[in-house]
A and B are shown apart, each in its own frame.
Chain A
Amino acid sequence: MSDRTDAPIEHDLAPGEEAQHTVGERILGYVVGLGLALLLTATSFFIAGTNLVWQPSIPVALIVLAIAQMGVHLVFFLHITTGADNTNNVLALAFGLLIVFLVVGGTVWIMAHLNQNMPPMDQFIRMHS
């Protein structure tokens, strides 16, 4: 298995690999990514501690901001794009995210119902005492 980096274009990009860019362009990509990430982080911290926005919207806003920031990281730091040479990487990620969604969403949903119908012992005692 030799390492032919001069392989013709027909192969996909490796995960984290960028299409051909100059050093300057690559650094610029990271700078933009860092800027956006810091901005989104600052917004999250601000929203969490402020009274200026409608309070019930805060959790939703925080989750939206978190997802946005994850997207920024994926695009600018991990170089995940929608290009054809990235399809395999994106598909693997999509599969993983589907599983994450099923596990977290399913667990929260199931456990909420279970807790309601079959409360854990200490809650049960609290309810009946």
Chain B
Amino acid sequence: MLGKLDWSAIPFGQPIPLIAGGVVLVGVLAVLMWVVVKGHLPYLWHEWITSVDHKRIGVMYILLASVMLLRGGSDAIMMRIQQAIAFQSQGYLPPEHYNQIFSAHGTIMIFFVAMPFVIGLMNLVVPLQLGVRDVAFPTLNSVGFWLTATGALLVNLSLVVGEFARTGWLAFPPLSELSYSPGVGVDYYAWSLQISGVGTLVAGINLVTTVLKLRTKGMNYLRMPMFCWTTLASNLLIVAAFPILTATLAMLLLDRYLGFHFFTNEAGGNVMMFMNLIWAWGHPEVYILVLPAFGIFSEVVSTFSGKALFGYRSMVLATMAICVISFMVWLHHFFTMGAGPDVNAIFGIASMIIAVPTGVKIYNWLFTMYGGRIRFATPMLWAVGFMVTFIIGGLTGVLVAVPPADFMLHNSMFLVAHFHNVIIGGVLFGAFAGFEYWFPKAFGFRLDERWGKLAFWFTFSGFYITFVPLYVAGMLGMTRRMQHYDVAEWRPWMIVAAIGMAVLSIGVICQIMQLVVSIRNREALRDRTGDPWDGRSLEWATSSPPPVFNFAFHPDVRGEDAYWDMKVHARKQALEHAVPEYHDIEMPRNSPTGFVCAFFATVMGFALIWHIWWMVILGAIGAFATFVVFAWRDHDEYVIPAAEVAAIDRVNLEERRSLVSMAGAV
């Protein structure tokens, strides 16, 4: 009846997951109770859960990423403590638990922190920058978000029901095959990634179509803000790379569930093919994450230097070059598997070549700053911190792209330091910069600068204190994923890294404090103009937060830096004194399709993990029925009458007029 599920799945014998799970459960229940008792449920349901508004969905993505960042961060803290004390001893984490923690840490940080964070920012900002009212497929957008949330839910469920994979974040066979991992850990891993992968693919298709097909009048390709370009590149990579992940995990699951022989040791299966396929996805994946971050930094650097982006066209070219070359380097993740000198050499050279367009970008940002009036607001701090950190990470990357060097450094702590150097220094700093930069747009008030700067400095210095020791430990020969070790000279470095982790945690606490303080002082921090940073692109041309329809009129774009252009020329457009003629606006209706779909996906995923076959069928039928019901709807849009549009828009115009005349006088 319940497949493999019974009481032994609950880890009564292991206090750490049990207590952690209990605390989370109590927390979730408390929040739910509060929501129900306070009567917020209808509001949440109508305004958020069923919302198809790209801004709301973007915010929910970022919220999911932030919560998961805390979960993944807790894993990191536990690992650093373990390695600091596990010198010639077992530490406090038994090996099978430690293995689950490093697997969960990687999986969560990549799939449920970095991915939702950048997808959330793209969702929130890109339609605004393009001057349109929504993404191409609003309901599908909601489906994509909720499927991502389903994946996150299943991963966290493994904490208390069953176990997570002990195989590392990419679940290499043969360890992940049934004969060596008979438990449900790998199944939790694979199914949650399959489900959230569908969500990511949907988001990718949506954003590619949005950028290519939904742009306002005059928004030619070479007038799009840089963030739109990087969004296009990143989502093209999603569309091209995620199917590879889906196929590869499907093969692994077929091996595990139906006795196929893709990656087994027996019957001609080939383990090395898994490494090959998974990295054919895995390398583009890092560019999927970092390209949007590059876009964010381009916007931030240009805004806070008060200058147009230097070398815009070279930046576009570099972005698209990275988009293509990122598909030609995947073998550098397994140089040591023994493909031989010619194959290794070609992939090594390709890996070094990809550093060239990245270098072009760095110089462009530096030249944008050169001669500008730089304001060191919090987003700009993150941007400058990124440039310093990312150059170090990039250079160690070029180092390991040299096959002979890689043979020395492969699988060592040096590698761990390298990829944290680029992912934290690139993606996470970018996500934080974007968060600080666009928060006023999303919520209508700025974030507290003092706490923001504290958060930056703690995170920045914490990062170096944590990861420079890991570089050193790697050079001293320490391999990754060690539950304990006997080499005395590694120990001091592990202790320093643990201290760095504490500093990093203070940074996170500062970030939470910043949010709390800012919400409390929101009236003082209110942004009435819609343009708190003196911005250059169209998202600043509407109010903060924007009305549900974003723009009363589709803006008419005449060049790069569309909004800057309007301000300087005080364009006789939406901003002039002549009362514009408003029209009715049609917007997509909210729909519970995404939520209901994700509910059935959760049921189906859970049932598949535990081999509860009747429940699998039930979930599949439910998901199909949801689609049919959605397809049968007769009214998918509602009309906002012209009078209402006018009322909303006038308030915005009044607030903005002073600002425009000021800029126009320059």
Q: Contact check, A113 vs B343: say whether CB atoms are below 8 A apart.
A: yes
Chain B residues within 8 Å of A1, by CB: 134, 586, 588, 637
Contact in complex: A102, B271 (CB < 8 Å): no
Considering the chains assembled together, what is the distance between the CA atoms of A104 and B92 in angstroms?
46
Residues of chain B lying within 8 A (CB to CB) of residue A98: 324, 327
A105 to B66 alpha-carbon distance, docked (Å): 39
Does B277 lie at the interface of the complex (its beta carbon under 8 Å from any beta carbon of A)?
A: yes
Between A109, A110, A113, A115, the greatest number of chain B beta carbons within 10 A of the residue's beta carbon is seen for: A110
> A55: CB under 8 A from chain B?
no
Provide the bound-state CA to CA distance between A113 and B212, in Å. Answer: 40
B204: shortest Cβ distance to chain A, in Å? Answer: 13
Interface of chain A, main secondary structure:
helix
Q: Are B338 and A103 in contact (CB under 8 A)?
A: no
| CB of A71 within 8 Å of the partner chain | no
Q: Which chain B residue has the least Cβ–Cβ distance from A116?
A: B340
Q: Interface code B306-329, partner A: CB below 8 Å = 1, 0 otherwise? A: 000000000000000000100110
Q: Provide the residues of chain B in CB contact with A38, threshold 8 Å.
A: none
Q: How far is the CA of A117 from the CA of B342 in the complex (A)?
A: 12
Give the Cβ gap from A41 to chain B, nearest Cβ, in Å. 27
Check: A64 CB closer than 8 A to any chain B CB.
no
- A106-B284 Cα distance, complex, nearest whole Å: 14
Task: Tell me which of A23-31, A45-53, A77-85, A118-126 binds B.
Answer: A118-126
- A106 and B330 contact, CB distance less than 8 A: yes
Chain A residues, Cβ within 8 Å of B327: 98-99, 102-103
Tell me if B337 and A109 are in contact (CB < 8 A): no
A114 within 8 A of B: yes
A111 to B343 Cα, complex, angstroms: 10
Q: Is A107 an interface residue (CB 8 A)?
A: yes
Given contacts A106-B280, A114-B339, contact A96 B240 (CB under 8 A): yes
Q: Among A98, A103, A117, A121, which residue has the most Cβ atoms of chain B within 10 A?
A: A103
Partner of B268, one of A99, A106, A114, A122: A122
Contact A117 B339 (CB under 8 A): yes
- Nearest chain B residue, comparing its CB with the CB of A118: B338
Cβ of B643 to closest chain A Cβ, rounded Å: 20
Residues B276 and A111 in contact, CB atoms below 8 Å apart: yes
Partner of B338, one of A107, A109, A114: A114
Find the A residue at minimum CB distance from B344: A113
- From 336 to 391 in chain B, residues with beta carbon under 8 angstroms from any chain A beta carbon are 337-340, 342-343
Enumerate B240-279 residues with CB–CB distance to A below 8 Å. Answer: 240, 244, 265-273, 276-277
Interface size on B, residues (CB 8 A): 32
Question: How many angstroms from the CA of A74 to the CA of B575 in the assembled complex?
Answer: 48
The CA-CA distance from A120 to B270 in the complex, in Å, is 6
Chain B residues contacting A116 (CB-CB under 8 Å) are 340
A95 within 8 A of B: yes
Q: Is B236 an interface residue (CB 8 A)?
A: yes
Chain A residues lying within 8 Å of B271, measured Cβ to Cβ, are 120
Would A118 and B272 count as touching, CB distance under 8 A?
Answer: yes
Q: Is A88 located at the chain interface by the 8 A CB criterion?
A: yes
Q: Which residue of A lies closest to B330 (CB)?
A: A106
A2 within 8 A of B: yes
The complex places the Cα of A113 from the Cα of B588 at a distance, in Å, of 53
A120-B338 Cα distance, complex, nearest whole Å: 12
B195 within 8 A of A: no
In the complex the two chains form, what is the Cα distance from A1 to B134 in whole Å? 9
Q: How far does the Cβ of A116 sit from chain B's closest Cβ, in whole Å?
A: 7
* Contact of A118 with B266 at beta-carbon distance under 8 Å, contacts A1-B586, A99-B240 already known: no
**Chain A CB within 10 A, most for which of B240, B268, B269:** B240
- CA separation between A98 and B156, bound complex, in Å? 37
Q: Is B331 an interface residue (CB 8 A)?
A: yes
Interchain CB contact under 8 A, B337 and A103: no
A103-B244 in contact (CB<8A): yes
Q: Which residues in A have their C-beta under 8 angstroms from that of B324?
A: 98
- Known A99-B327, A117-B340, A120-B268: A2·B276 in contact at CB below 8 Å: no
Closest to B280 in A: A103
| Known A1-B586, A96-B240, A106-B330; contact A111-B340, beta-carbon cutoff 8 A | no
In angstroms, Cα B327 to Cα A102, docked, is: 7
Determine whether the beta carbon of B339 is less than 8 Å from that of A122. Answer: no
CB distance from B561 to the nearest CB of A (A): 25
In the assembled complex, the CB of B440 is this many whole angstroms from the nearest CB of chain A, namely: 28
Query: What residues of chain B lie closer than 8 Å to A109, measured between beta carbons?
Result: 343
Which residues does chain A contribute within 8 Å of B267, judged by CB atoms?
Answer: 122
In the complex, residue of chain B having the shortest beta-carbon distance to the beta carbon of A120: B270
Query: A103-B280, A106-B330 are contacts. A111–B212 as well, Cβ < 8 Å?
Result: no
Looking at the assembled complex, report how far the CB atom of B397 sits from the nearest CB atom of chain A, in whole angstroms: 20
Q: Chain A nearest CB: distance from B263 CB in Å?
A: 10
What residues on A are CB-neighbors of B134 within 8 Å?
A: 1
Q: Which residues in B have their C-beta under 8 angstroms from that of A111? A: 270, 272-273, 276
Contacts of A118 in B (CB 8 A): 272, 337-338
Cα-based distance from A22 to B518 in the complex (angstroms):
64
| Residues of the A chain whose Cβ atoms lie less than 8 Å from the Cβ of B236 | 95
Give the CA-CA distance A110 to B267 in the complex, in Å. Answer: 21
User: When A1-B586, A107-B273 are in contact, do A121 and B337 touch as well, CB less than 8 Å?
Assistant: no
Q: Which residue from A95, A110, A114, A117 sits with its C-beta under 8 Å from B240? A: A95
Most chain B C-beta atoms within 10 Å of own C-beta, residue among A107, A114, A121: A114
- Contact status B268-A110, CB under 8 Å: no
**List of B residues within 8 angstroms of A121 by Cβ:** 265
The residue in chain A whose Cβ has the minimal distance to the Cβ of B267 is: A122
**Is A110 a contact partner of B265 (Cβ separation < 8 A)?**
no
Known: A2-B586, A98-B324, A114-B337. A107 touches B268 (CB 8 A): no
Q: Report the bound CA distance from A121 to B212 in whole Å.
A: 48
* C-alpha gap A120/B173 in the complex (Å): 13
Q: B203-229: contact bitstring with A at CB < 8 Å (1 yes, 0 no)?
A: 000000000110000000000000000
Question: Once the chains are docked, how many angstroms separate the CA of A121 from the CA of B327?
Answer: 29
User: Least Cβ distance of A128 to chain B in Å?
Assistant: 16
Most buried by A among B244, B266, B267, B276: B276
Please, how many angstroms separate the alpha-carbon atoms of A2 and B339 in the complex? 55
- Which residues of A have CB within 8 Å of B340? 113, 116-117
Q: Which of B212, B268, B327, B328 has the most CB of A within 10 A?
A: B327
Q: CB-CB contacts of A35-73 with B at 8 A, as 1s and 0s?
A: 000000000000000000000000000000000000000
The 10 closest A-B pairs by CB, nearest first: A99-B240, A118-B338, A113-B339, A117-B338, A113-B343, A114-B272, A113-B340, A102-B327, A114-B339, A121-B265
Q: Can you identify 7 A-B contacts, CB atoms within 8 angstroms?
A: A1-B637, A88-B212, A114-B337, A118-B338, A120-B265, A122-B265, A122-B266
* With A107-B273, A113-B339, A115-B270 already in contact, 14 other A-B pairs whose C-beta atoms are closer than 8 Å: A96-B240, A99-B240, A103-B280, A106-B328, A109-B343, A110-B331, A111-B273, A111-B276, A113-B340, A114-B276, A117-B340, A120-B268, A120-B271, A122-B268
